[in-house]
């Protein structure tokens, strides 16, 4: 874990390319200057390094600057479950606000960097900047919605459907960040995907092979191309937001 206290301009929220996906959405430049003073430090993580561990006292929440992290819960008997994957612009550590201690472990899946948002100071600032407060509430709420969709997946979908909706969810989040939405690298192992989806690694592997056979995707190791998005959406049981539902013109 490598801390940076940086006055280098590229680290400021005001000029960060992630601005629109992170906290400062819709905030005036004068107010962003205040945020700049709040978020001065970053943490650099190598693959496999922990950002925080279950039980650690919360002093900050974190925004992913680049890279990917996972959060996971552990059971007493050693079983563990991946709860979420976190892409650039997403906030980590929110589960620690409830009682002042993180509930999960956060681990980098690749070389990553996160901005440190000292929580006490942030709450004060949010009080002064209504837009920031609103945005923070939206982020917390979306986090909730994301987890609840995940619950729907684990509770109601079969392995195949879970995997399809996982790939599409990733695709959507990457697209929102300006990456290709139909071709990308999976930063997580099959084990981690399986854990996240509540299925075994062998099942993940089989389902991916099956998808490839039926022409839904192409996969080579961790590099994946989504070929038939509509097919995947149908499998996942969710509507395809990109597809223009054909409405027949009236009177033609």
Closer residue to DNA, CB minimum distance, 71 or 203: 203
Q: Which does 111 bind (CB under 5 to 8 A by kind): a second copy, DNA, none?
A: none
Q: Of 190, 185, 155, 148, give the one whose Cα is nearest residue 170.
A: 185
Structure tokens at 25: 């959405």
Shortest spacing between CB 212 and DNA, in angstroms: 8
Cα distance between residue 82 and residue 195, in whole Å:
5
Shortest spacing between CB 137 and a second copy, in angstroms: 5
- Evaluated on CA atoms 205, 211, 216, 220, the torsion sign reads positive
Q: Determine if 221 is a binding residue for DNA (CB under 7 A).
A: yes
Strand partners, 129: none
Q: Determine if 159 is a binding residue for DNA (CB under 7 A).
A: yes
Q: Determine if 82 is a binding residue for DNA (CB under 7 A).
A: no
Binding segment toward DNA, per CB under 7 A, in 5-13, 50-58, 144-152, 197-205: 197-205
3-state secondary structure of 68: coil
Binding segment toward DNA, per CB under 7 A, in 1-9, 17-25, 36-44, 200-208: 200-208
For strand 69-74 and strand 80-86, is the pairing parallel, antiparallel, or unpaired?
antiparallel
Structure tokens at 236: 């996942």
Contact with DNA (CB under 7 A) among 97, 200, 227, 240: 200
Contact with DNA (CB under 7 A) among 123, 124, 202, 242: 202
Q: Determine if 209 is a binding residue for DNA (CB under 7 A).
A: yes
Cα distance between residue 211 and residue 218, in whole Å:
8
Binding segment toward DNA, per CB under 7 A, in 6-14, 20-28, 170-178, 206-214: 206-214
Instruction: Say if residues 72 and 121 touch (Cβ distance below 8 Å).
Output: no
Q: Which does 221 bind (CB under 5 to 8 A by kind): a second copy, DNA, none?
A: DNA
Closer residue to a second copy, CB minimum distance, 125 or 184: 125
Long-range contacts of 9-15 (CB under 8 A, 24+ apart): 11/40, 11/42, 11/115, 12/36, 12/39, 13/39, 13/115
Shortest spacing between CB 158 and DNA, in angstroms: 3
Contact with DNA (CB under 7 A) among 103, 133, 182, 189: 189
CA distances from 93 to 34, 60, 150 (A): 22, 7, 18
Shortest spacing between CB 140 and a second copy, in angstroms: 4
Q: Determine if 201 is a binding residue for DNA (CB under 7 A).
A: yes
Helices (H) and strands (E) in the chain, counts: 7, 12
The contact set with DNA (CB under 7 A) reads 158-160, 189-191, 198-206, 208-209, 219-222
């Amino acid at each position: 874990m490598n801390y940076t206290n940086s006055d280098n301009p590229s680290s400021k929220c005001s000029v960060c390319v992630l601005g629109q996906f992170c906290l400062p959405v819709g905030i005036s430049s004068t107010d962003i200057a205040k945020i700049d003073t709040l978020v001065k430090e970053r943490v650099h993580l190598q693959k496999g390094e922990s950002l925080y561990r279950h039980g650690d006292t919360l002093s900050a929440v974190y925004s992913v600057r680049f890279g990917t992290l996972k959060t996971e819960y552990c059971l007493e008997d050693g079983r563990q479950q991946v709860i979420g994957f976190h892409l650039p612009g997403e906030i980590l550590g929110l589960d620690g606000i409830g009682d002042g201690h993180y509930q999960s472990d956060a681990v980098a899946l690749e070389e990553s960097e996160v901005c440190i948002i000292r929580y006490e100071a942030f709450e004060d600032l949010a009080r002064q900047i209504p837009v920031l407060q609103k945005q923070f509430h939206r982020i917390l709420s979306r986090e909730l919605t994301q987890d609840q969709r995940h619950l729907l997946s684990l509770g109601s979908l079969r392995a195949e459907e879970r995997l399809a909706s996982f790939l599409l969810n990733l695709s959507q989040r990457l697209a929102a960040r300006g990456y290709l939405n139909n071709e990308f690298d999976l930063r997580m192992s099959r084990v981690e995907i399986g854990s996240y989806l509540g299925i075994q690694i062998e099942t993940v592997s089989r389902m991916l092979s099956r998808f490839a056979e039926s022409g839904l995707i192409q996969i080579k190791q961790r590099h994946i191309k989504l070929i038939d998005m509509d097919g995947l959406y149908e499998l996942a049981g969710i509507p395809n937001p990109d597809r223009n539902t054909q409405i027949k013109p009236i009177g033609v």
